[in-house]
């Protein structure tokens, strides 16, 4: 699927069935269209005047929706099929290129959060780098993502204004969690007695929201977000997103003169494949044939300093950084209501076709879960519902609401779908479906229902839809359904995995370099990062540098009368600006959190 990924793992895993039984690897997909219906991204040639542009759009009954921050680049609405409109517009002499408004989304990777400490900071020798600098508010890092919980106590001191390209306003709050987690790894405030510390204790974090609460966005929003970040002085852009569709608009934004002084630190992808063979963007904009010099692509390592099983790799990937079991900031939520499905009282099961929902003995807690086919495989051509008979809670005055649940899923990928959704009236629903398999286990997942924020009523529902072919499977079981909405100025943390979590380690080190060496160019910052990696046999042939990020070497803590920065010395180096009496307290906070 053509999807750029905000590469995260937020799901706690609970196994069911016989201990040690072999299970397929989870391959769960949040279903979404490949491109936005009725929209095309167009860039006109520099010499195309207003009349030529008007004629080009009129020939396809197209109308401009909005400019996208680069000269001649527009998002337009088309009335006919998108592929035909793209071909016709691209053939017009006034048009430099036209492309679908590709969709991009966050990839969910299951993870059991058993590593609550910030092992990654010690592994990249961050404490030794802090002897040189703990960062500077003069350095700006744009988090181009799902937004940021800017009022999180561990982030608020480092936040600066940004923009929301999803709702087109100046309130880029995070309805997903991914962007907040990324921001915390880059620059959660250090030495403040709260939760975690980022790689750069002091930095200006600019939230740029381009992905919605489900983690889905478009190349139009991402390109506009990149252009905005550069225009507003971002020294570094962290783009923990990626996908397989080449976007000229996104490439042009990175390559624009306005972004020449901005370093783009991007994620390699979570598909476990070679980016050389299966290009992943924006990662591959830094490789041939584009070879953009201001891009660094990051893979993920685990606690054993080996490439994470999910991480993409190849010569297109510059280096690796810790990306497994990473603890960071997370939006805080108020729980409003829950249902454990120990019975189906208060729910109504209907089946336009197929088997009705019922109770399954497979469960996480209690005795049962709700299942679309509790006695065996679902049927071809199914359309079956389980709808709560009355409102679960009021969302009046609430924002950023989500349904969370434990899901065990086994469906034919991209053919059969399980929905966990919400409504204000039991008729019109919000939320995206899941397709694929969780590998025989329950995974903690969530659905964005923020489209219903403020409603006095909220009605949840489950739905299974299958196509008419003969390929069927066990279907879905849902347990421990809960409804929660954002809590203002709340403090929360989460431990997740992905190349999204590796990328902000590198962006944070780039911010430290900028603070320590303010005269450095983008090329010098990039050279310091790549030239300072720790070569590892496990990464030889997997990433271009053959090494893992090292903050100490990158900022230059080994030079000018400093001892060699071997791992033991870097790990035990005292933290700058912290009195000796506080040193033990700081080590404890960095090791295990608050």
The structural domains of the chain, with segments of one domain joined by +, span: 35-104, 113-331+493-572, 334-486
**Residue appearing with tokens 């994620």:** 267
For 282-337, the DSSP string reads: TGGGGSTTT--TTEEEEEEE-TTSSB-TT--BBTT--EEEE-SSEEEEE--EEEEE
Separation CA 160–CA 168 (nearest Å): 17
CA-to-CA separations, 183 to 246, 285, 466, in angstroms, rounded = 26, 23, 39
Q: Is 226 helix (H, G, I), strand (E, B) or coil?
A: helix
* Both tokens assigned to 316: 């297109």
pLDDT at residue 131, as a whole number: 86
pLDDT at residue 569, as a whole number: 32
pLDDT at residue 27, as a whole number: 54
Of 375-379, 386-390, 424-428, 492-496, where does mean pLDDT reach its minimum? 424-428
Q: What is the mean pLDDT of residues 41-57?
A: 94
Architecture of the structural domain at 35-104: 2-Layer Sandwich (3.30)
The reply to whether 35-104 and 334-486 are identical in fold is no
Of 104-118, 175-189, 428-442, where does mean pLDDT reach its minimum? 104-118
pLDDT at residue 6, as a whole number: 55
pLDDT at residue 143, as a whole number: 98
Q: What is the mean pLDDT of residues 418-435?
A: 92
Helices (H), 395-537: 499-516, 522-531
Which of 25, 452, 384 is CA-nearest to residue 213?
Answer: 452
Q: What is the mean pLDDT of residues 36-49?
A: 93
Q: Is the pLDDT of residue 479 over 50?
A: yes
Contacts of 84 (CB under 8 A, 6+ apart): none
Helices (H), 2-138: 50-58, 82-90, 119-123, 126-129
CA-to-CA separations, 75 to 13, 230, 286, in angstroms, rounded = 40, 20, 25
Q: Pick 67 or 576 by higher pLDDT.
A: 67
For residue 539, what is the DSSP state?
A: G
Domain 113-331+493-572 - what CATH class?
Answer: alpha beta
CB 443 within 8 A of CB 30: no
Dihedrals phi, psi of 523, to nearest 5 degrees = -60, -40
pLDDT at residue 57, as a whole number: 94
State the distance between the two ends of the chain, measured CA to CA, in whole angstroms.
40
CB 378 within 8 A of CB 481: no
pLDDT at residue 29, as a whole number: 59
Q: List pLDDT tens digits, range 283-337.
A: 999 999 999 999 999 999 999 999 999 999 999 999 999 999 999 999 999 999 9
Q: Please state which CATH number belongs to domain 334-486.
A: 2.60.120.200
Which of 33, 105, 23 is CA-nearest to residue 438?
Answer: 23
CB 467 within 8 A of CB 433: no
Q: Is the pLDDT of residue 13 over 80?
A: no
Separation CA 141–CA 164 (nearest Å): 16
Q: List pLDDT tens digits, range 15-27.
A: 222 222 233 445 5
Residue 528 pLDDT level (bands cut at 50, 70, 90): very high
Q: Is the pLDDT of residue 88 over 50?
A: yes
**What is the reported pTM?**
0.83
pLDDT at residue 31, as a whole number: 63
* Both tokens assigned to 112: 């059991």
Which of 481, 462, 444, 480 is CA-nearest to residue 366?
Answer: 480
Q: Is 416 helix (H, G, I), strand (E, B) or coil?
A: coil
pLDDT at residue 216, as a whole number: 86
For residue 22, what is the DSSP state?
A: -
Q: List pLDDT tens digits, range 335-368.
A: 999 999 999 999 999 999 999 999 999 999 999 9
* Both tokens assigned to 551: 């903050």
Residue 243 pLDDT level (bands cut at 50, 70, 90): confident
Beta-carbon count within 10 A of 223 CB: 30
Q: Is the pLDDT of residue 564 over 70?
A: no
Mean pLDDT estimate for the chain: 87
pLDDT at residue 432, as a whole number: 86
Residue 192 pLDDT level (bands cut at 50, 70, 90): confident
Q: Is the pLDDT of residue 53 over 70?
A: yes
Q: Is the pLDDT of residue 40 over 50?
A: yes
Q: What percent of the chain has pLDDT over 70?
A: 86
Q: Which residues pair with 264 in a beta bridge?
A: 237, 295
pLDDT at residue 179, as a whole number: 97
Helices (H), 367-408: none
Q: List pLDDT tens digits, range 114-152.
A: 334 789 999 999 988 988 999 999 999 999 999 999 999
Buried b (16+ CB within 10 A) or exposed e, 493-512: bbbbbbbbbbbbbbbbbbbb
CB 73 within 8 A of CB 223: yes
CA-to-CA separations, 272 to 10, 27, 30, 38, 345, in angstroms, rounded = 18, 12, 18, 33, 43
């Amino acid at each position: 699927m053509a999807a750029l990924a905000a590469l995260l793992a937020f799901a706690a895993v609970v196994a069911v069935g016989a201990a040690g039984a072999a299970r397929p690897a989870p391959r769960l997909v949040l279903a979404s269209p490949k491109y936005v219906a009725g929209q095309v991204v167009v860039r006109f040639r520099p010499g195309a005047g207003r009349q030529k542009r008007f004629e080009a759009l009129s020939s396809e009954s197209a109308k401009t929706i909005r400019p996208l921050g680069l000269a001649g680049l527009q998002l337009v609405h088309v009335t006919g099929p998108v592929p035909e409109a793209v071909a016709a517009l691209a053939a017009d002499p006034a048009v430099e290129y036209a492309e679908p408004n590709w969709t991009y989304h966050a990839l969910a990777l299951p993870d059991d959060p058993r590593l609550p400490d910030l092992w990654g900071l010690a592994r990249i020798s961050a404490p030794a780098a802090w002897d040189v600098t703990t960062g500077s508010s003069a350095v700006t890092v744009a988090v181009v993502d799902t937004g940021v919980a800017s009022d999180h106590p561990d982030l608020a001191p480092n936040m600066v204004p940004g923009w929301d390209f999803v709702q087109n306003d100046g309130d880029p709050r995070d309805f997903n969690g991914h962007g907040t987690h990324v921001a915390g790894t880059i620059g959660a405030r250090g030495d403040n007695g709260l939760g975690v510390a980022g790689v750069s204790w002091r930095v200006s974090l600019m939230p740029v929201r381009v992905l919605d609460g489900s983690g889905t966005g478009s190349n139009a929003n991402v390109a506009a977000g990149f252009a905005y970040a550069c225009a507003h002085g971002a020294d570094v852009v962290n783009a923990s997103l990626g996908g397989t569709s080449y976007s000229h608009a996104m490439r042009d934004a990175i390559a624009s003169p306005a972004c020449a002084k901005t370093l783009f630190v991007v994620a390699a992808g979570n598909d476990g494949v070679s980016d050389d063979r299966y290009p992943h963007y924006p990662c591959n904009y830094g490789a041939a044939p584009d070879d953009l010099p201001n891009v660094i692509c990051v893979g993920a390592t685990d606690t054993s300093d080996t490439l994470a099983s999910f991480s993409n790799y190849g010569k297109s990937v510059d280096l690796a950084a810790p990306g497994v079991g990473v603890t960071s900031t997370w939006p805080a939520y108020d729980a409003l209501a829950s249902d454990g499905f120990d019975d189906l009282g208060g729910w109504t099961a209907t089946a336009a076709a197929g088997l009705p929902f019922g109770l399954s003995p497979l469960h996480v807690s209690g005795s049962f879960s709700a299942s679309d086919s509790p006695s065996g495989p679902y049927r071809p051509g199914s359309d079956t519902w389980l709808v709560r008979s009355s409102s679960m809670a009021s969302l009046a005055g609430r924002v950023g609401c989500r349904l969370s649940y434990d899901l065990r899923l086994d469906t034919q990928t991209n053919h059969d779908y399980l929905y966990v959704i919400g409504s204000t009236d039991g008729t019109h629903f919000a939320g995206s479906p899941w397709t694929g398999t969780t590998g025989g286990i329950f995974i903690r997942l969530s659905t964005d229902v923020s489209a219903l924020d403020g409603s006095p009523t909220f009605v949840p529902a489950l739905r299974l839809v299958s196509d008419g072919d003969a390929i069927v499977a066990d279907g879905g079981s849902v347990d421990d359904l809960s409804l929660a909405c954002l809590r203002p100025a709340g403090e929360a943390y989460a431990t997740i995995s992905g190349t999204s979590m590796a990328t902000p380690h590198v962006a944070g080190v780039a911010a430290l370099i900028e603070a320590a060496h303010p005269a450095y160019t983008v090329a010098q910052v990039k050279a310091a990062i790549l030239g300072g990696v720790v070569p590892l046999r496990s990464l030889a042939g997997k990433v271009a540098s053959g090494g893992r990020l090292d903050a100490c070497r990158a900022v230059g803590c080994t030079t000018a009368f400093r001892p060699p920065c071997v791992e033991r010395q870097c790990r035990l180096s005292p933290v700058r600006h912290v009195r000796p009496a506080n040193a033990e307290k700081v080590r404890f906070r960095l090791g295990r959190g608050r």
